[in-house]
Structures are given as structure tokens and as C-alpha cells.
């Protein structure tokens, strides 16, 4: 395990990522996600300026930071919706930057993605939304798909809303269905983009409990992008705070609280 709760220097970040890669390159016991010197910019605006992060099996990493620091961009880079300016992304030991689309699509089957606004297909029912990945990527017959969809929706407390359209659901319900859809193919990596954004405190707590329950049931490596410190404290094993395109500090919530860095203290104080 890497030292926690300390400010991370760029060289240190790189050496951690390199050692993680070197320990198990391209093997099944490789960490699910390794990011190395990841850079991304849009025009002249540098969003990520050398990100090094590693997420191990069964671990939940929360990525915090001010708005516009590239947290959501980070998730989109991992799942290949954007290509990084430079740097390396390893999924289960396989380099995914600039790989052919067919190979990327195979890897995407191992990843579940919950979008900030759930991004449910609005022309499909709840049942059809959750069945979409199953229809596309499995050889399940109709009845097996139906049973799997019911099981997934039951695990997020939405088993009674199979035939509803996404427009008939509240924000919290949409997130639940989005989570069920993300889990449909039994992913080994779960990427959650602001799972509690825009939800009231009670619904946020319910979503947090749901994520904790799913973590217990499935051995998934999760990366959670959030502004919600309370949620990060509840669901994450480790927290990475992004600032000016870099990982400013990495550690448990308690370790972050003990930091004497001015920005970290200010960030934690503002939320509390």
C-alpha cells in the first residue's frame, strides 16, 4: 500500500504508478486501474497536468476537487470516451490509450459507468434500459434477461418500476436505474460521476448506502467523482484531491483532515 495522507509530489506519483505497473504488467492480478502521467487539455486550457493514480481490486477511490478541475474528464478518459493528450491508462494491465475501438469495446464490458444525470435512454422503459447491455453483449435468452433485469432492479430497490419511462422517474430513481444498468454485465470496475449530485440529503444517503451495499456484494474497484464530502467519507476507502490539474493529496478522509495544507484545510472546512 502506498503512503497515505501526504502531499504527493509529481515524481512520487510517477514512481507509484510505475511500480504498480511493473508489479503486474498485463496480468490478471494487475490493478484494475492505473493512470500514469495523464495530461489533458482543451485548447490552451490545461485540465489534467500529470495525474498518477492506482485503484486496486475491491477499493473505492473518491476523486474530489473544485468544479472544472477535470474530475469527470478523468472518468471519460478511463472509459475511452476521450483520448488523453499524453500519458498512460492501464485497465487490468492493458494499455488502452489509442487501442482499436473493438478492443476498447471489449474492455468497456468490464466497466460500469454511472453518468452525472444517469443518461438513461429516454425512448426505452426502465426494464429496456437495464436490459440494453445484456441484449448487446450476452447470449442470454429473453427469460434469462428478464430475470437478470429484475434481480438488478431489485438490488437498487426499483423492482416495481419496470415499465416506467425515465421521464416518469425522480432524479434519485434515475440514478438507481443508472446504477443497475452499470452493473448489468458484472463489471470489475465501476465509474461513478457525481452519484449524489442534485439529490436531497436523504436520497443522497440512500444512494450512498446502496453503493456500500453493492460494494459488499460485488468485488468491484470503484472511482467516484464527487463534490459531496460526506458521501466521499461514507463510501470511499481512499480520497484523491485534485488541484490545478494534479493530485494534491491522497489518503483516507482522516488523513486528509490532518493535513496542514492550506487548500486541503479550506476545502474540507468549506464543506463541513
Partner 1 sequence: MPSVLGSVWGPFNLFLEWFGELGLFVGKVLHSAVRRPFEGRELFRQLDEIGSKSLPVVALAGAAIGFVLSLESRSSLVRFGAKSMLPAALVYSIIHETGPIVTGLVVSGRVGAGIGAELGSMKVTEQIDAIEASGVNPYKFLAFTRILACILMLPLLTLAADFCGVLFGWIAETIVEPVSFHRFVTQGFVGAHFNDFLAPTFRTAVFGLIIGTIGCFQGMSTKGGTAGVGLSATSSVVLSSLFVILADVLLVKFILVFFP
CA angle centred on 241, ends 69 and 183, rounded to 5°:
85
Residue 216's CB: how many other CB atoms inside 10 A?
Answer: 9
Residues between 69 and 88 that touch partner 1 (CB under 8 A)? 76, 79-81
Q: Go through the chain and tell me how many residues it has.
A: 272
Query: Site mask, partner 1, residues 145-164, x = CB under 8 A?
Result: --------------------
Give the contact letters, 91-130, x = binds to partner 1 (CB under 8 A), - = no: ----------xx--xx-xx-x-x-xxx-xxxx--------
Bridge partners for 238 per DSSP: 61
Least gap, CB of 120 to partner 1 (angstroms): 8
By beta-carbon proximity to partner 1, the closer residue of 11 and 102 is: 102
For partner 1, the closer of residues 64 and 75 by Cβ is 75
Confirm if 50 and 10 have CB atoms less than 8 A apart. Answer: yes
Nearer to partner 1, 166 or 251 (CB): 166
- Grid coordinates standing for 125? 422503459
Distance CA 12, CA 89 (A): 17
Give the span between the Cα atoms of 151 and 69, in whole angstroms. 37
Q: Which is nearest to 55 in space by CA: 244, 266, 213, 215?
A: 215
Binding to partner 1 in span 30-49, by CB under 8 A: none
HSE on the CB side for 107, CA within 13 Å?
22
Q: Smaller CB distance to partner 1: residue 182 or 240?
A: 182
Taking residues 166 to 185 in sequence order and writing x for each that binds partner 1 by CB under 8 A, - otherwise, the string is ---------------x----
To partner 1, the closest distance from the beta carbon of 105 in angstroms equals: 4
Chain residues in the site for partner 1 (CB under 8 A): 76, 79-81, 101-102, 105-106, 108-109, 111, 113, 115-117, 119-122, 132-133, 136-137, 181
Amino acid at each position: 500500500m502506498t503512503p497515505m495522507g501526504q502531499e504527493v509530489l509529481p515524481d512520487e506519483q510517477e514512481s507509484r504508478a510505475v511500480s504498480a505497473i511493473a508489479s503486474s504488467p498485463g496480468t490478471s492480478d494487475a490493478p484494475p486501474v492505473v493512470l500514469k502521467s495523464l495530461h489533458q487539455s482543451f485548447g490552451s486550457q490545461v485540465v489534467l497536468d500529470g495525474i498518477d493514480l492506482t485503484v486496486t481490486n475491491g477499493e473505492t477511490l473518491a476523486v474530489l476537487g473544485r468544479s472544472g478541475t477535470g474530475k469527470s474528464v478523468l472518468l471519460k478518459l478511463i472509459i475511452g470516451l476521450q483520448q488523453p493528450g499524453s500519458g498512460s491508462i492501464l485497465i487490468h494491465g492493458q494499455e488502452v490509450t489509442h487501442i482499436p475501438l473493438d478492443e476498447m469495446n471489449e474492455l468497456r464490458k468490464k466497466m460500469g459507468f454511472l453518468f452525472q444525470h444517469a443518461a438513461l435512454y429516454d425512448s426505452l422503459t426502465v426494464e429496456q434500459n437495464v436490459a440494453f447491455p445484456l441484449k448487446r453483449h450476452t447470449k442470454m435468452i429473453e427469460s434469462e434477461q428478464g430475470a437478470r433485469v429484475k434481480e438488478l432492479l431489485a438490488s437498487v430497490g426499483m423492482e416495481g418500476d419496470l415499465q416506467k419511462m425515465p421521464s416518469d422517474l425522480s432524479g434519485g430513481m434515475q440514478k438507481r436505474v443508472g446504477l443497475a444498468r452499470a452493473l448489468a454485465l458484472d463489471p470489475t470496475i465501476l465509474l461513478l460521476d457525481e452519484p449524489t449530485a442534485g439529490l436531497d440529503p436523504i436520497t443522497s444517503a440512500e444512494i450512498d448506502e446502496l453503493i456500500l451495499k453493492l460494494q459488499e456484494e460485488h468485488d468491484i474497484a470503484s472511482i467516484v467523482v464527487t463534490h459531496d464530502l460526506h458521501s466521499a467519507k461514507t463510501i470511499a476507502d481512499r480520497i484523491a484531491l485534485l488541484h490545478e490539474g494534479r493530485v494534491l493529496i491522497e489518503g483516507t478522509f482522516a488523513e486528509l483532515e490532518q493535513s496542514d495544507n492550506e487548500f486541503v484545510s479550506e476545502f474540507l472546512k468549506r464543506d463541513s
